[in-house]
Structure 1
């Protein structure tokens, strides 16, 4: 007895035999039947109990169930023919199976007039079973006998779990006990395999049976087979599940994995998804008629076994499939093909592929179903579903279900493929518009990183480092609103505009004003359907002068940079909050800060700080923490910043990061003269310049420098306004001559006529120097020219 079954269990002779044929259980009923105590038989081969022909044949059952009459040895001698029912019992953890062997013993005498003998339900067309007050089977009708595949005379006296050997029958017995003890009927839905390998969904209606005095003396069970409705509901649920689980990302590989995950184990024991490679990288899949052999690339597979040991091809590898093969046959036919080992459909294919033949034999694969993956008229690949643990072959309903799920997955795979192609195009455009490498300047050392968004597509983030006159350098970081190719194209236009405006040496606030006008025009060109602001952007522009070690910055709706002074903690630079570009009509303001040599500036876009699990202030604090341990290498610092602030699975928005370490130009490399407005002083100035070049060991540049200084100083005296200043600056590769005055009139080149006495000076300067130009200052203008230092590196 047990709490689950509070009756005498000895009314059934029951034994359990393990997969080696050794007896591991022997109950009191078995001892009562044959007389062998449990201590004598447990641990011994079960075949020792067989007599006659059965012993010599060793009786190895096939399938999931066996029944028949065998002759058994009794304790003390003699034999006894016994009808036995054996069920293969599979453990939950996929370990070795066992056999449950049972037979009912002669029931005790029942008094005449037992109400169970007169139950009138046995003529019902539904399967009917009658259980007595010990929950042992008393009667079944012919319909139930046909369902079970067992006769009433053999199974009378067995318990429900002993009839099927399934765990579900133990739950049924608990329901029977509840009806017996409470006297209230109940309905039970269950999915119980019966009759060997057959499986059915049942609605079991249990009702108490009472005697003349109203006492419960048994339970009647009327079973209704609703397998078709159950399977239809399961198929509908699987289709709904597929619509939710497939296509969660715009990634081809992940979508293929989701297709395999949905089908295992609900529809198959092993699923492989193989796709056709496009004819060219980033192109469309082949649209014409396919011909064998067909090359397919394994994208995903899934198995009920951990590690998918049935797979011959690993994900990412390509394999050739001839005809006949499940993959090629389905793709060439254009429809689902089911192949079975029992019909020999796979023999020719496996004859030339011993590796697959070995796997099929090893795991007992018996059926495959190949479903083409097609979307929008294009063939993308094939999904192959395989069964080996599920003993049932694929049915036409299974094929319809697989086609429905695969069709949904095909659209998602095609969407992911199209998105990937567009994203690669946008990435290529983005990379072509961003600087391939940052220029090396005497003013600063720089390093950068750009990361595209993981899901929303490439955006319009950009950065740049622009050398300016006087060894100054401009740093810019910007972010265009939106994502995709349009945002990348807009970014390219803005970056080009910034470089053009920087080339004429506009101050940061003036440059942002001109850039704002451009964005307003771009927004108007984009159309009026979405109203103003269709095109928008943010930008930060900074100019650093290594001579004065001062940096001028202005921003348009962009995050302020972080400054890390040498030996000091990181801190943000307070800048006037300018409006985003594209608003129009609002002024921008500049701020000037002094930077010690070795100061690191961190310029970035908002994607670096923003995250779902933290606010911007927390992101800013993380950035300062990451910058607090600056490495000698700015590249290493960039990597540490990204690792500290960004999630490992990809960023939701584009990220641009620019780190710049400032360098100061020593005073010994700068010489300055204040020049009175007297043409007679030009010759003494030339002499002083030559002396300074000798002091710097730059005599090879003396001739050119003398001509350039003479021309620029003469023009300033003749056409400029007081005060006039001459400045020479040099690094290892360049000598810069600058002449400043307070006139705002900028010079320009012109071609002098034959009889003109002047007009050739600037043309001569342009021909003798690497480049020249003018820039406006707060109190006038500066004309500058750069002379290359030959022999210097």
Structure 2
């Protein structure tokens, strides 16, 4: 439902004698503001009242309001000292009152009157009782109905009471305007606190009366759903009883009036339910849906609405099983009310979880799945309910109120319930309200279940995707790495973007970024398969072009449903070189450390993975220590309707900006590109600072295939570690090198064994030979002559491993460097 806000035009300075100085512009209706004191005398008369009723302020102040306001039924002709006011709404004058025998609720009506110097004027009026110690007793607002009907096109006998909210402003030069502005929620009790606060702010900002209304939400003036108040119904029953006793029929007009009222009540409830259905379920976000459901019923149907959901629903763990019991935890997920701000929030805060005992009406509702109606909460029941709130006394908030508890069900399972409370002075919930509440809860339960299922599926997909994304250490051999992954916002929160970093022999590192086209679980699953395949083939030390070739063949075997782009780069920190191949991916950016210049690397584009039958090429790029390599997916740079070159230029420019750390640099890039039309696709970003390894930190030897050479290997390692100041590691390193070199000499075929030590963040030792069979970790017995070497390495090393190479295999281990 679209809600429009129309503002009344500021009244002119001169007092006119007509209903208006001219035809009102669309939506601009001047208002008359009149305040009546306890003696029935006018204490305030605005300029709008002078124009509408034809009397000046000087003539009106201090005079009887009944003489000046010829509005049918607005004021009694013989006003007692304390002001008994009756209201006429076109349906009967016998409205129940409880405020000192006067009007106890807002009322409205219409009348035709004759204004001196003008034609007869059709007037709409609103009367609001003022409660407090002051002398002001009644606030009356009036407007020219003719001008209003030109804009609203209302039917006869109806006004948009629920959505027309006439107000006053400081511009009316009323001395008590500040106090009335502060008390607007009391003057308009049918409004929520948030709505009334917004209207007050608008009034004070504009400085003249404001009128809010909706053109497509019209309700009759009668209070409480158009049903006659109890006093009127009681009087009609008494007249019907007397007529039956005397054998006389009840006047037809009374019969018609009762039937019309009941018809109006049913129609309004149906319209209310239809309106609520249109206001909830606008989003599949569970938290937003919960707030929509709570706000839809306040204040029109109830004054307080608290929403509780089962723990499994809030946690997104799927559909809850079984009937709730006294151990079931219920989370308070929303609380909407018309009381003063903070009154409920401190006592029953949102987010609290608690069980409910079996003696409470809440337990009855959630176990039976049926609404529970409590006409008035007695002191005894209030005490029983409050007993479960530790150190908080909620009895003043609930005692004396009418309560309706309605279940939120889906597929015959209770997901939660709503507690609806009405103020003590408001009409109690009745059986008709019970039916309305049950229908309301059924619709809300369906919407909540849809949001719950979406949230659950989204949680499963995100968990799947998170499990597939790697946890890359921030430092690897010769390089620092920072990564970012951002799920999509509109096209789907789950996608096929990924990144990875794989440790390779020779202190090298493979850097990977890929993107499976499409979104959803299938794309995420395909991404997991491709990422695993890349890790496996990278461990075989395949050249980049050959790896992409094999990945394309694998995608063909998996099916032709999905395509993927991939960028695969191998960084050699010793040779200061990148070996890169591209499969349809956007090119990487390199930022040179020497001059801070950034550029897109010119690579052969290649076809996406899954096309099949296309060649892939690899290029070698020289790099210097401190250079930064930036690889990302197209979700970061691509905006619908815009050339991707614009995004790539922004990426290149933002990558060149200096930053305190790698993480700060990644965040700066995302901030620079995200505002460009809003990010809709998921994003994978990998940044590597290529630090390199100095030649003095690398030592290499060739060991001939002679068992005597094992002793020389121990000696050169011991000497090198002492030269590097790592003598504390010499003992363990010698032992492990001895075991690995002995195995290599024993199994190598013809090529000499190569031994390498690399000093970086850790001490890396590698032993290469030309045998392709990888060693196995064995459990050697007390009498076995072999099988203990790798067990020793596994025990002493921080990390160890073996991988195949083009010429054979590499077995390696790492040791943690001692603190300096």
TM-score in same-fold range (> 0.5): yes
CA RMSD of the aligned region, Å?
Answer: 5.5
TM-superposition CA deviations, 1:691-734 (whole Å, max 9, x none): 87775567845687689779979999x746xxx99674521544
The alpha-carbon distance between structure 1 residues 536 and 670, as it changes in their structure 2 partners (threshold 3 A), is same
Task: Identify which of 646, 652, 656 aligns with 1:628.
Answer: 656
What is the distance in 2 between the residues matched to 1:327 and 1:246? 24
What is the distance in 2 between the residues matched to 1:306 and 1:614? 50
Task: Identify which of 472, 481, 486 aligns with 1:451.
Answer: 486
Give the unaligned 5+ runs of structure 1. 7-13, 28-36, 47-53, 69-84, 93-99, 101-128, 137-156, 179-184, 202-222, 524-531, 752-759
1:790 Cα deviation after fit: 8.3
Task: Identify which of 510, 515, 532 aligns with 1:496.
Answer: 532
The alpha-carbon distance between structure 1 residues 228 and 667, as it changes in their structure 2 partners (threshold 3 A), is same
1:603 Cα deviation after fit: 2.0
1:548 Cα deviation after fit: 1.2
1:170 Cα deviation after fit: 4.0
The equivalences for 1:386-405 within 5 A come to 386-388=421-423, 391-394=426-429, 398-405=433-440
The alpha-carbon distance between structure 1 residues 336 and 648, as it changes in their structure 2 partners (threshold 3 A), is farther
1:26 Cα deviation after fit: 8.2
Task: Identify which of 188, 191, 194 aligns with 2:159.
Answer: 191
User: Hey, which of these two has a bigger chunk of strand by percent?
Assistant: 1
Matched, 1:351 2:386: no
Matched, 1:775 2:805: yes
Q: Which residue of 2 aligns with 1:384?
A: 419
Question: For structure 1, which segment, 546-555 or 644-653, has the greater mean C-alpha deviation from structure 2 after superposition?
Answer: 644-653
The alpha-carbon distance between structure 1 residues 548 and 15, as it changes in their structure 2 partners (threshold 3 A), is closer
Task: Identify which of 549, 555, 564 aligns with 2:591.
Answer: 564
The alpha-carbon distance between structure 1 residues 351 and 647, as it changes in their structure 2 partners (threshold 3 A), is farther
**8 A contact 1:539–1:581 mirrored in 2:** yes
The equivalences for 1:511-526 within 5 A come to 511-523=547-559
What is the distance in 2 between the residues matched to 1:60 and 1:351? 38
Classify the secondary structure of the residue corresponding to 2:421.
Answer: strand
Q: Which residue of 2 aligns with 1:273?
A: 307
TM-superposition CA deviations, 1:178-219 (whole Å, max 9, x none): 9xxxxxx99745238899858769xxxxxxxxxxxxxxxxxx
**8 A contact 1:287–1:379 mirrored in 2:** no
The alpha-carbon distance between structure 1 residues 272 and 475, as it changes in their structure 2 partners (threshold 3 A), is same
Q: Which residue of 1 aligns with 2:43?
A: 24
Give the unaligned 5+ runs of structure 2. 1-15, 22-32, 47-55, 66-76, 94-100, 129-138, 162-219, 228-255, 387-391, 777-784, 795-799
Task: Identify which of 568, 579, 588 aligns with 1:541.
Answer: 568
What is the distance in 1 between the residues matched to 2:786 and 2:585? 44
Question: For structure 1, which segment, 550-559 or 432-441, has the greater mean C-alpha deviation from structure 2 after superposition?
Answer: 432-441
TM-superposition CA deviations, 1:67-96 (whole Å, max 9, x none): 99xxxxxxxxxxxxxxxx98679699xxxx
Classify the secondary structure of the residue corresponding to 1:24.
Answer: strand
1:435 Cα deviation after fit: 2.6
Task: Identify which of 442, 446, 456 aligns with 1:411.
Answer: 446
Q: Which residue of 1 aligns with 2:295?
A: 261
The alpha-carbon distance between structure 1 residues 560 and 306, as it changes in their structure 2 partners (threshold 3 A), is farther
Task: Identify which of 607, 625, 634 aligns with 1:606.
Answer: 634
Task: Identify which of 62, 82, 85 aligns with 1:59.
Answer: 82
The equivalences for 1:217-228 within 5 A come to none
Q: Which residue of 2 aligns with 1:372?
A: 407
Task: Identify which of 694, 705, 713 aligns with 1:666.
Answer: 694
| TM-score, normalization by structure 2 | 0.63
Number of matched pairs: 637
Q: Which residue of 2 aligns with 1:95?
A: none
Q: Which residue of 2 aligns with 1:577?
A: 605
- Higher-Rg structure is 1
**8 A contact 1:192–1:200 mirrored in 2:** no
1:375 Cα deviation after fit: 0.3
Classify the secondary structure of the residue corresponding to 1:278.
Answer: helix
What is the distance in 1 between the residues matched to 2:793 and 2:274? 77
TM-superposition CA deviations, 1:521-560 (whole Å, max 9, x none): 222xxxxxxxx32x44332211000011111112223322
Classify the secondary structure of the residue corresponding to 1:470.
Answer: coil
**8 A contact 1:562–1:571 mirrored in 2:** yes
**8 A contact 1:65–1:86 mirrored in 2:** no
The alpha-carbon distance between structure 1 residues 548 and 409, as it changes in their structure 2 partners (threshold 3 A), is same
What is the distance in 2 between the residues matched to 1:60 and 1:285? 59
**8 A contact 1:712–1:783 mirrored in 2:** no
What is the distance in 2 between the residues matched to 1:323 and 1:135? 70
**8 A contact 1:168–1:190 mirrored in 2:** no
Task: Identify which of 285, 300, 323 aligns with 1:251.
Answer: 285
The alpha-carbon distance between structure 1 residues 176 and 687, as it changes in their structure 2 partners (threshold 3 A), is closer
Matched, 1:334 2:369: yes
**8 A contact 2:39–2:80 mirrored in 1:** no
The alpha-carbon distance between structure 1 residues 643 and 134, as it changes in their structure 2 partners (threshold 3 A), is closer
**8 A contact 1:293–1:328 mirrored in 2:** no
The alpha-carbon distance between structure 1 residues 159 and 520, as it changes in their structure 2 partners (threshold 3 A), is closer
**8 A contact 1:766–1:772 mirrored in 2:** no
Q: Which residue of 2 aligns with 1:480?
A: 516
1:379 Cα deviation after fit: 0.2
Q: Which residue of 1 aligns with 2:758?
A: 730
**8 A contact 1:260–1:300 mirrored in 2:** yes
